[in-house]
Amino acid sequence: QAHLVESGGGLAQAGDSLRLSCTGSGRTLRSYAMGWFRQAPGKEREVVAAINWKPDSSYYADSVKGRFTISRENARNTYTVHLQMNNLTPEDTAVYYCSAAPFLASYGQGTSQIDYWGQGTQVTVSS
């Protein structure tokens, strides 16, 4: 079992930066990839970025490449993933969900292979 808790998010203006963090507990996460999805009103949940357990490999959605950076810190039974979001646009407005899956490749399969979810944190970007 694992438990994910997000922090960060909030209100921003276009061009601003925000940083999301997610702290996961549970020995399972030691070998799991972790990442972020987002869901805007009326849209499907989509992957944003993910990072493997080592961490030495990451994945980004095309829409955030060059603007968002994912990082990960592994400690004893505590695993923290950060999402640094720069040059935000109104299109980044969504609820952002932390997640964990067995493999980094799992994030290429939509939500079907995600085992754990955080409660979500709202990011709102105004123009």
Q: Which two tokens stand for residue 88?
A: 């935000």
Triad 80, 62, 90: Cα angle to 5° = 80
Quote the pLDDT of residue 49.
Answer: 98
pLDDT attached to residue 77 = 86
Which residues lie below 8 Å from residue 104, measured CB to CB, with a gap of 6+? Answer: 33, 50, 51, 52, 57, 58, 59
pLDDT tens series, the chain, 127 aa = 899 999 999 999 999 999 999 999 999 999 999 999 999 999 999 999 999 999 999 999 999 999 999 999 999 889 999 999 999 999 999 999 999 999 999 999 999 999 999 999 999 999 9
Angstrom distance (rounded) from CA 30 to CA 14: 36
